[in-house]
Structure 1
Amino acid sequence: MTPTRPATSFARRWAALSAQRGGLCLGVAPSPVWLDRWGLADTAESVRRYGDVLLDAAGDSVSAYKVQVPFYLRHGAAGMAALRRFRDGVHERGALVLLDAKIGDAEDTMAAYADLYLGPQSQLGGDAVTACAFMGAATLHPLLRIAQDRDAAVFTLVRTSNHGAGEVQGSRTPEGHSTAQAIADALTGWHTAHCGTPEPGPAAAVVGARLPESAQLVRRLPHSVLEIPGLGRADRRTEEVLAPVRDAADRAMLTVTTGVLRHGPAPAALRTGIQWWHEEIARHR
């Protein structure tokens, strides 16, 4: 496939897709556990087949895919080839690819990460990538500038949904803000300084907190596309996950993984699971 520059920004593409197809983002996790549950061996060929089944099941009903990159890269060159094949299949169906790599490093490495993950000219061709600000929010600035130039996005981990997240992300700055709040404010500040418009830009965010923290963080991120994990988890009700983004539906990427994958590997069952989540989201809007 010949790389081509996106016609418009990630945020605009997401808004258009979610208006047409809904805000569902399908989590892609070809881990050894999921491969085994689907009756597949732990090989790069199985990872490729897993992706083909998901794409066949989803068709053009999904707006984006959040791909757990390590489950591909652990298979080396063959895994990278499987990821590129999956990326191409997503783009052929008009959807977006969020590469969940959680990158975080010093400023001078960020251009290299961009060349690996971001945009059609990169090695893996993602429309967006996840990143963490553990070394300081300013370390993400080079990556954000490149994402802006490539019409891509960087989804910074503001508050994750894993059970141990509060230990670090809830810690307090000298000003009394939580680390999550400080990161959210830094992203909004970068947007204000570099984008010149209230329209959402490349500084996107992952917000997996529970209420009321999730609502507070969403309010601090008025210019960000928001990836909201948690749908389908046993400890999260749909209404709780959706409540903070009811007034930001065009910016909310609603990710479900286990809630769909458990229906596999039969494409018809996966299709039914995806449709159920579309209806479930509509019921709670």
Structure 2
Amino acid sequence: MAVTPFADRFETIASARSPLCVGIDPAPETLAAWNLPYSAEGVREFGLRMVDALGDRAGVFKPQIAFFERFGWQGMKAVAEVIAHIRSAGALALADVKRMDIGHTLEAYAGAWIGADAGIPADAITLGAYMGSGSLTPVIKRAVEHGAGLFVVVRSSNPDGIALQNARHEDERTVADALADDLTAFNAPHLGKYGIGPCGAVIGATLDDAEHVLERLPTSLILAPGIGAQGATMADLKARFGKAAARRTLPAVSRQIAHAGNSANALADITARLIDEAHGLRG
């Protein structure tokens, strides 16, 4: 049976709702502000409340899996419930797992998160590729088979990543540029209705030099963390990324929304404003 690629589903929901990607990051300080315990039950309750408040507005939710995994099997059970709740609300679930390995190990990670038979089925996941872009082959294969999306870290906004990502190959391409070229090559046989493939990229919204690497990613969706608490705005993102890339971008906002408080009305109010701003990326 044919599957609809993640990029095609994202385009539909971004037009109907918004391209905004709402982060579900139940950090200790956030749970304390919500009067929730720092426990598996606390992270579960936080995630479910976020989806209850915003599930009919946001197109994409991005649970940060580390905050759930912290509590072992109970935390993983909690995130499974949260992801199922996201999908039942008609939104897309992007599991922020940043897995990175080779061979059968990465294949097992892919099976844990991608496909109806996965341990915790999500619509998309994040990955690292600094064990070589060829290491991504098993997860790309599974993503194509199951219509999932992949977001590979290419240029992060943390200062410690700059030296590695901007190191140069013998052909003078930076490591980030070469990875971007590989993602574009991986996408080429698998372009969907809108000319986008399964391999997206993570590019920090706070970067002032992102446009160059984005030019090498014409067939990728872009996940852009850094809006809000890290200092970037939607207007900054559009200026830094350029019109073409901005239209393919999922602007990710976590703390700015969660810190509005645990009132459904407060969450809805700030999200409505961010949704309006996010629509501007596609204009």
TM-score, L = length of structure 1: 0.92
Q: Which residue of 2 aligns with 1:246?
A: 243
Q: Are 1:186 and 2:182 counterparts?
A: yes
Instruction: State the 1:107 CA deviation.
Output: 2.2
Q: Are 1:101 and 2:97 counterparts?
A: yes
**SS at structure 2 position matched to 1:189:** helix
Instruction: State the 1:211 CA deviation.
Output: 5.0
Q: Are 1:258 and 2:255 counterparts?
A: yes
Q: Which residue of 1 aligns with 2:68?
A: 72
Q: Which residue of 1 aligns with 2:275?
A: 278
User: Does structure 2 conserve the Cα–Cα contact (< 8 Å) formed by 1:144 and 1:203?
Assistant: yes
Q: Which residue of 2 aligns with 1:28?
A: 24
Instruction: State the 1:108 CA deviation.
Output: 2.7
Paired AA for residue 230 in structure 1:
G
Cα separation, 1, equivalents of 2:136 and 2:83: 24
State the number of aligned residues: 280
Greater shift in the superposed pair: 18-27 or 200-209? 200-209
User: Does structure 1 conserve the Cα–Cα contact (< 8 Å) formed by 2:227 and 2:234?
Assistant: yes
Q: Are 1:126 and 2:149 counterparts?
A: no
Q: Are 1:111 and 2:95 counterparts?
A: no
Instruction: State the 1:267 CA deviation.
Output: 1.3
Summarize the Cα distance change of 1:222–1:273 in structure 2 as closer, same or farther, 3 Å threshold.
Answer: same
User: Does structure 2 conserve the Cα–Cα contact (< 8 Å) formed by 1:23 and 1:249?
Assistant: no
Q: Which residue of 2 aligns with 1:163?
A: 159
Summarize the Cα distance change of 1:212–1:76 in structure 2 as closer, same or farther, 3 Å threshold.
Answer: closer
Cα separation, 2, equivalents of 1:207 and 1:191: 17
Q: Are 1:177 and 2:192 counterparts?
A: no
% identical equivalent positions: 31
Q: Which residue of 2 aligns with 1:195?
A: 190
Paired AA for residue 117 in structure 1:
W
User: Does structure 2 conserve the Cα–Cα contact (< 8 Å) formed by 1:211 and 1:240?
Assistant: no
Give unmatched runs, 5+ long, in structure 2. Answer: none
Q: Are 1:206 and 2:202 counterparts?
A: yes
User: Does structure 2 conserve the Cα–Cα contact (< 8 Å) formed by 1:207 and 1:217?
Assistant: no
Instruction: State the 1:218 CA deviation.
Output: 1.6
Greater shift in the superposed pair: 201-210 or 261-270? 201-210
Summarize the Cα distance change of 1:84–1:115 in structure 2 as closer, same or farther, 3 Å threshold.
Answer: same
Greater shift in the superposed pair: 273-282 or 100-109? 273-282
Q: How does 1:78-93 map to 2 (within 5 A)?
A: 78-93=74-89
Cα separation, 2, equivalents of 1:113 and 1:226: 22
User: Does structure 2 conserve the Cα–Cα contact (< 8 Å) formed by 1:170 and 1:180?
Assistant: yes
Q: Which residue of 1 aligns with 2:224?
A: 228
**SS at structure 1 position matched to 2:87:** helix
**SS at structure 2 position matched to 1:224:** coil
Q: Which residue of 1 aligns with 2:45?
A: 49
**SS at structure 2 position matched to 1:158:** strand
